Each structure stands twice: as structure tokens, then as C-alpha cells.
Amino acid sequence: MKATAHAAAVAGGPAIQPVSALARAARAVDRAVTHAVEFMAACALVAEVVILGWSTTARYVFGDPLAWSDELATMVFLWLAMLGSVIALRRGEHMRLTAFVRGLSPEARGWLDAIGMTLVSFVLIALIPASIDRFHEVNDGLSPVLQINEGYRSAATIAGCVLMLVTALTSLLRVANLRQVAGAVVLVAVALAVLLRFAEVIEDLGNANLLIFFVGFVAFSIVIGMPIAFAFLVGTVGFIAFATSIPTSIVPSRMEEGMSHLILLAVPLFILLGAFIELAGLARTMIAFLVSLIGHFRGGLQYVLLGAMYLVSGISGAKAADMAAIAPTLFPEMVKRGNREGDLTSLLSASAVMSETIPPSIVLITVGSVTGVSIAALFTGGLMPAVVGMIALSAVVFRQTRSEDVSQAPRFSWKERGRLFLIAIPGLGLPIVIRSAVVEGVATATEVSTIGIIYTVVIGVLVYRQFDWRRVYPILVETASLSGAILLVVGAATAMAWALTQSGFSRQLVELMSIVPGGKIGFLLISALAFIILGSVLEGVPAIVLFGPLLFPIAIAMGVHPVHYAIVAVFAMGFGLFTPPFGVGFYLACAIGRVSPDVAIKSVWPHLAALLVALLLITLIPWISIGFL
């Protein structure tokens, strides 16, 4: 999911005008670098679609699988992830928590932004030599199939860190004045000097130093609004550098491993697919058909919203994109029928929670990547829990719309409904094609996205004839940016999870969780509560990458089915993500619905109560998640 733009912190400020030929040249170089990075990222994304699309065709159609496709795809993928991270930092689109800084004065925000971006810069300065060391470690090796120098792959991390450092320094000068920049640099430099002075003492503290780096430093970084990925890196790099004798090159090594996992390639491809669905008009036709069926009933448009979210959710990879594809079409007519805007925004937010487990969910793909649980099983197990959530929300809708005036609502004849159904068939068929291809083994969770992309482009060009090719390049760049924001979190969280494991924290966590009262049920309830809290602070992807490898083995040891545990975790994290006051997803829903959070927060509680009941049912009744496996 996209986080609040960092640039928003300085929106409305005076434009910086070039005052000299040198300044104009610097801005020209900056623009040139920006365009070059965006172009390379777009090309990498197109290359991934071509590689995986041809690989699927060669294996399934011609029966001649390409032995080199996965190897080349992962190498290009790491470059895509790093270039996308650069674009995301330049655009201010990295995931971050803004709940604590949202109401501060511009002066206070300037100080915190300066400290945050200074920390980002120092982390990148530390990672660049570490990445170079990592490059030298692998430079003599060759890839198994293509026999390509492994240095080409590792060079992506160096290039990404250097470009992000340039971007961070530019952003630092943009978000704060010189006094704030100087103060932030001095503050961070003093902190580093203290750590250097007492490094031996810190190392002798044992696991107590985890509180300094992974609680103190990470929590402080997140609270001041620093991007979550860099907050993780602050704690990890600090822990490795000052509390252990492990070389810092292990950090880029773990990041590369986490970011280039082939399963995660589904992230950018499904994000691209979601954008193409809107571009080709598939979402619009599905909504029009649903409206023709039940739009004239009391609460009909609310039920349409729930049904539409069920159909399209998860494909885009970003809840904001799912909500933005549906809300603008339905909200104006809902308001005409006398529905309160707060109720509508609350329902939109809750529907995003309901649909968290619907495949092809990016969070489910991430779960499979970091825990080894079958993606096909997760996709199958996620459908029924979403139905339970939809039924719970439908009960709230039924209660709230008993007095809705539908006298002026248009009624469609069966002939008109049939026509709209025929028009919507391509859109309605896409989720079926995607899910069937994975479940039936036609394509992997990664490859099936290319099938969806090709299908959507063909339908948009030949059937609906509204595929605007001029929008494709901006969509490619936006996809790379959002993917980079997600994948950098995955890489940083992978490094952080490795450090926690090496410290012995995972073993202590296993011992603690194994003695939770109530046995398996108590463990599940405690886990659900923990993931609600994690989801409200970290969002789904970083939370599952960080804690999935630690908690899933405990769940399996206690007799919990891994698919059941995954669904509980994902649904609970979604609940936390959209729960005020900390859940950033709630504020995204307010922005899309164009309703003040102060208005919407008064209406959110009935929907959250219904979802809490659904979560309890999913937690206590395993059949809901694993009954159809």
C-alpha cells in the first residue's frame, strides 16, 4: 500500500528558483537522472513481463521450459526493486507512519523531517561501502545456468544506495531550512560518536542491546515519520556495526536475498495488472452490471461496493488502488440516496479489510515467500474468510439502510441486465482466469500475473477499445515506484529478521509463545491481537516478513495449520491497518472518499465491530480457512 507522500510535509511552500547558472545546471542534471532512472525501471518492468510471459508460453504451450528464465528474471528483478526504491524516495512514496507527526506545527515537522532524512542519509552512507564489499565477495562467481558474473546482480544494490543517497540529500535541503539541517546533522553525529565510544560496553550487554537498536532506534525512527524501510535499516545496521563483530556486508547480502525472491516478482506484476484493469475499463463494466442487479434495493449500492471489492481486490497490490477504482463510481449516487458520507467512507475502509485475504493478495504471496506455505493453498484458503467478512459487513449495511429512499433509483429490465452482463463478462472472467490458472497448476503465482496483463491489454484494445497507450509509460513508472517501496521494506525486514535470529531472540520468542495459557486457542488469540497491533504500525508486508519466520514454526509446532494461521495473521493485520487512530489505511479511505477523518471516525465502529466478530470466527473455526484445501 502507498504511504503518505513525504513531499506533503512541505506542500504549499515557496518554490525554489534557480539563482545562478550552477543552480540551473544542478537542476538539469537532477531532472536528467530522474528521467534516466524512471526509464530504466520501466524497461526492467517490461522485461520481466516478457521473460515470464515467454517462459509460461514455452513451458505450457510448447512443452519446452526455459531453464534460464528464472535466473534472468531474479537478476532483472533486483535492479527493478532498487531503481523503484530510488523513484519512491524521490516521490516521497515509501511507507511511513504519520499518526504521531500529523498534527504538529510546520516548524516541528521541519525539525523531525530533517532528523529523519539525515538518518536516511547516514544509513545509506554506511550501506554503500558494505554493498561494495558484498560486490567484491560475489564478483568472481558465475550464475548456475546463464554463467553471468554475479557482480552484475549485486551492483544493483550499490547503484540503488548511491542514487538514494543523492535523492536523500536533495530532499533534506528541500524539507528543512539550513538551521534545521545543521542541527539534525550535529544531533546524529553526536549519537554516532556516543555509540562508537561505548561500542564495547554495548556489545557486552548481550540481548539487552536489542532494546537499544530494535526497540529504541527503530521505534524512534518510525514515530518521527521516517520511512519504515529505513527505520528497520537504522536498527539493523546499528546493531551489526556497534553490537556485533559481524561485517556490515551481511546487511546488503540479506537485503538482496529478501528482495529478489522469485515469488515476490508477483508484486510489481500484479500492481501493473491492477492499473491496466482500470485503464482498460474492466472495473467499470463489472460495477455497472452489479448496479443493474441490486442497485435499486435498500443498501443496494453498498452491497455493490462490497461485491466489487471482492472481485477486484488484491489484483492491484495496493488497497488505495482498489478503493480508488470503486468509490468514485458509487459514492455520488449513494449520497443522493441520503447516505451519510462518514458511513460510506467507513464501509469503504472496512471492505478493504474484508478483502485482505482474497487472492491474488500481495500479502498472501509474501507469506508464501517467507514461510514456504503453498501459494495455491493460501489462495484457496483466503476466499471463504473474505465471504465471512462480507456477510458481517452486509449485516451492518442492512441495519443502516432500513430507511434509505430508493424511490428514484433506476430499475433495469432483464434485457438491459443481460446486455450489461455480456459487456462485463471479460471483466468478470479475469479473477476466475487468474485464480484457476494458479490452482490448476497452469502457471505459478508469479507467472499468472503476465497472463492477466496480456488478457487485460487484449480486452482493452480489441473489446472495450479504450486502452490509452499514452498512459502506459506513467503507469510503468508508478508501478516501479510502489513496488520499490514495498520491496525495500521486504529487504530491510529480511535483514532485520536475520539479525534478530542471530541474536537468539527467535528462540526466546518460541519459548515465550509456547507457554501462552489456553494452548492452541490461546496462542491463536494472542497472535491475532499481536498482528492487529503490528498491522496498525507496520502494515502487512513488513510485519509478515519480520515476524512470519519467527511465529509460523511455533504455530506448526502447536498443531495449527499453516494456512489457517496465515489467514488469521493477514486478516488481523488488515484490521489493524484500517483501524484509527494509527491505521494509515483508514486515512487513505478518507482521502479517497474526500471525507474528513474527524467525520468518518464517528461512523467506523459498527463496521469494525462486525469485522472483529468475523476475525474471531475465522480464528476459532479452522474450517473457514482450510475446509476447501
Q: What is the pLDDT of residues 560-579, one digit of tens each?
A: 999 999 999 999 988 988 88
- The crossing angle, in degrees rounded to 10, of helices 228-243 and 540-557 is 60
Cell numbers 526492467: residue: 44
Chain segment 61-78, per-residue pLDDT in tens: 777 777 788 888 888 999
| Predicted confidence (pLDDT) at residue 8 exceeds the cutoff of 60 | no
The span from the CA of 474 to the CA of 32, in Å, is: 16
Place of cell 556497534: 242
Least confident of 53-62, 202-211, 430-439, 565-574: 430-439
> What is residue 47's predicted lDDT score, i.e. its pLDDT?
93
- Choose among 77, 134, 165: nearest CA to 252: 134
The pLDDT of residue 600 is 79
Q: Which tops the pLDDT comparison, 514 or 555? A: 555
What is the structure's pLDDT at 91? 87
Concatenating the DSSP letter of every residue in 225-280 gives T--HHHHHHHHHHHHHHHH--S-TTHHHHHHHHHHT-GGGGHHHHHHHHHHHHHHH
Inter-residue contact 551 to 352 (CB < 8 Å): no
pLDDT at residue 204 above 70? yes
Q: Which three cell numbers stand for residue 432?
A: 476466475
| Contact between 318 and 332 (Cβ < 8 Å) | no
User: Which pLDDT score, from 0 to 100, does residue 252 have?
Assistant: 92
What confidence score (pLDDT) does residue 115 get? Answer: 92
pLDDT in tens, 231-260: 889 989 998 988 888 888 899 998 888 787
Confidence of residue 615 (pLDDT cuts 50, 70, 90): very high
Residue 116 has pLDDT above 80, yes or no: yes
State residue 373's pLDDT score.
86
Q: What is the DSSP letter of 8?
A: G
pTM for this one? 0.76
Dist CA 147 CA 162 (whole Å) = 27
Q: Answer with the residue of higher pLDDT: 186 or 139.
A: 186
pLDDT at 324: 66
Average confidence (pLDDT) over 545-571: 87
Q: Side-chain half-sphere of 408: how many Cα atoms within 13 Å? A: 7
Q: Would you state the pLDDT for residue 580? A: 77
- Kindly tell me if the per-residue pLDDT of 109 is higher than 60: yes
Least confident piece of the model among 244-258, 319-333, 594-608 = 319-333
What pLDDT band is residue 20 in, cutting at 50, 70 and 90? low
Integer Cα distance of 167 and 174 in angstroms = 10
Q: Is the pLDDT of residue 497 over 80?
A: no
Given a cut of 80, whether residue 339 has pLDDT beyond it is no
Tell me what pLDDT residue 314 has.
58
Find out whether 466 and 69 touch, Cβ atoms under 8 Å: no
pLDDT of residue 98: 73
d(CA 348, CA 337): 17
| The C-alpha cell that represents 499 in the structure block | 539479525
Crossing angle between the packed helical segments 362-371 and 472-502, to the nearest 10 degrees: 40
Write down the pLDDT at residue 12: 38
Lowest mean pLDDT among 309-323, 454-468, 594-608: 309-323
Residue 504 pLDDT more than 80? no
- Give the pLDDT score at 22: 59
Q: C-alpha cell of 409? A: 433509483
Q: How far apart are the C-alpha atoms of 78 and 88, rounded to whole Å?
A: 15
Residue 509 above 70 pLDDT? no
pLDDT for the residue numbered 438? 67
Q: What is the largest CA-CA distance in the chain?
A: 80
Q: Which range (3-12, 26-35, 379-388, 434-443) has the least confidence? A: 3-12
pLDDT of residue 13: 39
437-489 pLDDT, tens digit each: 766 667 776 777 788 888 889 888 888 888 888 899 999 999 899 888 878 88
End-to-end CA distance of the chain: 29
Residue 2: what pLDDT?
39
pLDDT tens-digit map of 295-306: 778 878 888 888
pLDDT of residue 584: 66
Query: To the nearest 5 percent, what fractions of the chain are helix, strand and coil?
Result: 75, 0, 25
pLDDT of residue 564: 95
Q: Which residue has the higher pLDDT, 429 or 470?
A: 470
Q: What is the mean pLDDT of the chain?
A: 82
Buried b (16+ CB within 10 A) or exposed e, 430-463: bbeebbebbeeeebbbbbbbbbbbbbbbebbeeb
Percent residues over pLDDT 90 in the chain: 21
Q: Label residue 515 exposed, middle or buried (CB < 10 Å: 0-12, 13-18, 19+).
A: exposed
In the predicted structure, residue 498 carries a pLDDT above the cut 50 = yes
Range in 1-10, 253-262, 413-422, 534-543 with the lowest mean pLDDT:
1-10
Residue 6, pLDDT score: 40
Is the pLDDT higher at 230 or at 56? 230
For the chain, how many helices (H) and strands (E)? 29, 0
Residue 30: C-alpha distances to residues 24, 42, 473 (Å): 10, 18, 20
DSSP symbols for 500-528: HHHTTHHHHHHHHHTT-TTHHHHHHHHHH
pLDDT of residue 26: 60
